Amino acid sequence: MTPTRQVYFNITGVWLMYVFFALTLLVFGYGVYRRWRLWQIGRPVVRLDRLGERLRLLFKQAPGHEKLLKRYSGTGFAHLLIFWGFVFLFLGTVVVFIHEDLHIHIMQGALYLYFESLALNISGALCIAGVTVALIQRSIRRAPRLKPDKPDDTIILVSILVILVTGFIIQGLRIHLTHDPWAAWSPVGRAVGMVFAHFLSEPALRELHRATWWFHLIVVFSFIGWIPYSKLLHILTAPASILTQDLGPRGALPVVDIEKEDAPLGVSRLQDFTWKDLLDLDACTECGRCEVNCPAFLTDKPLSPKWLILNLRESLHAESGNGRGANADPKISPAELAQSPLVGAVLKEETLWSCTSCGACVEQCPVAVEHVSKIVGMRRSLVMERAEFPDDLQNMVRSLEARGHPYPGVSASRIDWMKGLAVIQLADQPGAEFEVLLWVGCAGALNQRSQSVTRAVAELFTKAGVKFAVLGREERCTGDPARRIGHEFLFQTLAQQNISTLDRYKVRKIVTSCPHCFNTIKNEYPQFGGQYEVVHHSEFLEELVRQGRLKPSATGSAKVTFHDPCYLGRYNQVYDAPRAVLDSVPGVERTEPDWNRRNSLCCGGGGGFSFMEEKQGTRMNQNRAKQLLDTGANTIAVGCPFCMIMLEDGTKTVAPDAQVRVRDIAEVLNEATE
């Protein structure tokens, strides 16, 4: 006898199921269409190119739940169980469909025993375990990150539980009533059946089986129909968002065509976002991973990356009457909706000015929502269209416009730091031969503390016999702070000036100790034709040590912890080089802060914050300084001039009596090198 089972045992009127299913598909299709139509109001952006690469990314991130398991791995694992449980159960249903409706009898033999019975039993059971963990997490532990925690969220979990439990009941009753010879392959169903058989008579079991079958069916169909109207939509939008994510370097913000006459400069209305931006809004599952690593949210600034997305989503859904945002007028048409302003109505200006652009939200997001480019997009509109932005940043902009550096009132010149050092300035020696160009950066040249880092780098280069040159007075700000605050016009002006200077001197390889300069020249200058090999000083110094050109020797012992700069780590995945440089120094004992590498917490210096007073909440730099001091290290090593300034200030305030020094990795290495 071939192992299989009867599909519609004990059921009559199966045609009704097809009617219900057709209705379900209609409701489902209409819901998806309604969302689809809203995404269409966005601007075009190419996100379906390089399909092979995109599919590889999707299969790397989605099935393994890469990001869900990296943080809150318990709940992440619960979701993994639910996800795979559903995938298997869905495939099981497909098998039934092929077997029964297409009359291709595959549900028999080994497939029936190993897959349709045993595998599905195990997945169903694991799925129940996953849902139970999720329900405990949501209703008993009530993690704050899961807010707003709408009733829907619990209803979804309960319905999944109901679907799975009723499924096992149906199976168990069938096994018992049919004296199924293959019952051993469905251990969970069989056990459930035995329990019911213990209490009820056979006719009652038959009645119960039929009733549960229809109930199960109605819950399943309602669930499917509900998908596009609830958070369940992420079953579709999450993979879509991951598939259409930005494949360019993460550190590069999108270019605005400033010359285009009638194009809006930045985002002031929903229609100024790209369709991917709008898809993101419907992909968000409110898991809150973005806000637990957000330096602004952690210090009570009026910004939560999650609520930013949710508020925008509510405003997008206003069209359908689902929105509870400021634009919640059910009669508003997509055309009208597209025109309504965002900043002021949906979001506060302070929210946008609370972001350090550290990228932690983007790094944490399991569904590839791009928060930072949205924030910068809206900043662009405030800065370029409305010219309304914080006074401190206006002063920075004036200084960048007039002097090419962001430090108003600074009394140093770009070449003061090199007094007493033999450094080639290309303006003075245009024909000089050089191996690398040392890009000093505004902080490195003009900030007193950072000048000593620049000197340390130059001294190390000399010790290693590296032939290097600098642009000196001809160097301008790379434009990073201008671009991050949304002043694309000023950024492009500065970028073009620098590219023309670099090209004039035929510069090929650039080393810089500033991760912001590093990121901008490496990832953003190519947008304007500037192609150079750019390395951070940590990478370059590591190479010099590895080649034996620098030989650090012991200078005593130090307990050192390294703080990952956002624009080096998260944006450019340089995590190991600075650690290797520190480890090369004998006597250095290195410890890691709890939040490190991709989970590093921003010092509070990016996105214009180095030039702006922090007016709300507690201080971001003190928050990070505490984490670093908790390691017990007596040296906090950094690789970024902004981090240096922020963390020196932070440690002094948090622990005024602690004997802790904040030092650049180059300073640590230089001290140990003859």
Partner 1 sequence: MHLVVCIKQILDPEIPPSDFRLDSAGRGPAEGIAPQVISIFDENALEVALQVREAAGEGRITAISIGAESAVDALRKALSMRVDDAYLIRQADFPALDTFGTARILAAALGKLPPADLLLCGRESGDWYGGQVPAFLAAQLDWPYTALVAAIRKTGSEWNLRRQSDDGWETIACSAPAVVSVTNDAQNLPRIPKVRDNMLAFRKTITVWTAADLGLTSESGCGPNTRLKTERFYIPTVSRQCQMISGDSVVQRAEELVEKLAGLRVI
Interface ranges with partner 1 (CB under 8 A): 258-259, 265, 383-387, 389, 391, 394, 397-399, 402-404, 408-413, 415-416, 473, 487-489
CA distances from 339 to 110, 269, 325, 332, 375 (A): 59, 6, 15, 11, 18
Nearer to partner 1, 258 or 658 (CB): 258
Q: Which two tokens stand for residue 438?
A: 């040392």
Residue 127, SS3? Answer: helix
Smallest separation, CB 413 to partner 1 (Å): 4
Nearer to partner 1, 92 or 472 (CB): 472
Nearer to partner 1, 37 or 386 (CB): 386
Smallest separation, CB 412 to partner 1 (Å): 6
Smallest separation, CB 377 to partner 1 (Å): 14
CA distances from 226 to 31, 113, 221, 236, 462 (A): 8, 32, 8, 13, 67
| CA–CA distance, 390 with 349 (Å, rounded to integer) | 10
Nearer to partner 1, 182 or 489 (CB): 489
Smallest separation, CB 529 to partner 1 (Å): 21
Smallest separation, CB 340 to partner 1 (Å): 21
Residue 560, SS3? Answer: strand
Nearer to partner 1, 391 or 613 (CB): 391
Residue 424, SS3? Answer: strand
Nearer to partner 1, 49 or 391 (CB): 391
Nearer to partner 1, 253 or 312 (CB): 253
Smallest separation, CB 414 to partner 1 (Å): 8
CA atoms within 13 A on the CB side of 464: 28
Smallest separation, CB 489 to partner 1 (Å): 4
Smallest separation, CB 266 to partner 1 (Å): 9
Smallest separation, CB 431 to partner 1 (Å): 21
DSSP 219-279: HHHHHHHHGGGSGGGHHHHHHHHHHTS--S-TTPPPP--TT-SSS-SS-SBGGGSBHHHHH
Nearer to partner 1, 157 or 384 (CB): 384
Nearer to partner 1, 371 or 380 (CB): 380
**Stated length of the chain:** 674
CA distances from 325 to 270, 330, 350, 472, 529 (A): 13, 11, 18, 52, 42
Nearer to partner 1, 384 or 581 (CB): 384
Nearer to partner 1, 126 or 415 (CB): 415
Smallest separation, CB 383 to partner 1 (Å): 8
Q: Which residue matches tokens 């090419």?
A: 404
Q: Which two tokens stand for residue 32?
A: 């998806």
Pairing of strands 509-512, 436-439: parallel
Pairing of strands 424-425, 558-562: unpaired
Residue 173, SS3? Answer: helix
Nearer to partner 1, 401 or 533 (CB): 401
Smallest separation, CB 258 to partner 1 (Å): 7
Nearer to partner 1, 192 or 397 (CB): 397
Nearer to partner 1, 264 or 617 (CB): 264
The most distant pair of C-alpha atoms in the chain lies apart, rounded to whole Å, by 101
**472, 426 Cβ separation under 8 angstroms:** yes
Q: Omega into 148 within 30° of 0, i.e. cis?
A: yes
| CA–CA distance, 637 with 456 (Å, rounded to integer) | 14
Is the alpha carbon torsion for 598, 353, 317, 267 positive or negative? negative
Q: Which residue matches tokens 């999707």?
A: 58
Smallest separation, CB 257 to partner 1 (Å): 12
Smallest separation, CB 296 to partner 1 (Å): 24
Nearer to partner 1, 488 or 664 (CB): 488
| CA–CA distance, 210 with 226 (Å, rounded to integer) | 24
Pairing of strands 424-425, 468-470: parallel
Smallest separation, CB 378 to partner 1 (Å): 15
CA distances from 192 to 28, 181, 556, 616 (A): 33, 16, 69, 58
User: Which has the closest alpha carbon to 561: 544, 583, 545, 539?
Assistant: 583
Coarse DSSP helix, strand, coil percentages of the chain, rounded to the nearest 5 percent: 60, 5, 35
| CA–CA distance, 83 with 64 (Å, rounded to integer) | 10
Nearer to partner 1, 476 or 536 (CB): 476
**606, 357 Cβ separation under 8 angstroms:** yes
**223, 20 Cβ separation under 8 angstroms:** no
Smallest separation, CB 53 to partner 1 (Å): 35
Q: Which residue matches tokens 């620049």?
A: 454
| CA–CA distance, 501 with 480 (Å, rounded to integer) | 17
Nearer to partner 1, 50 or 615 (CB): 615
Smallest separation, CB 430 to partner 1 (Å): 16
User: Which has the closest alpha carbon to 212: 145, 251, 166?
Assistant: 166
Smallest separation, CB 491 to partner 1 (Å): 11
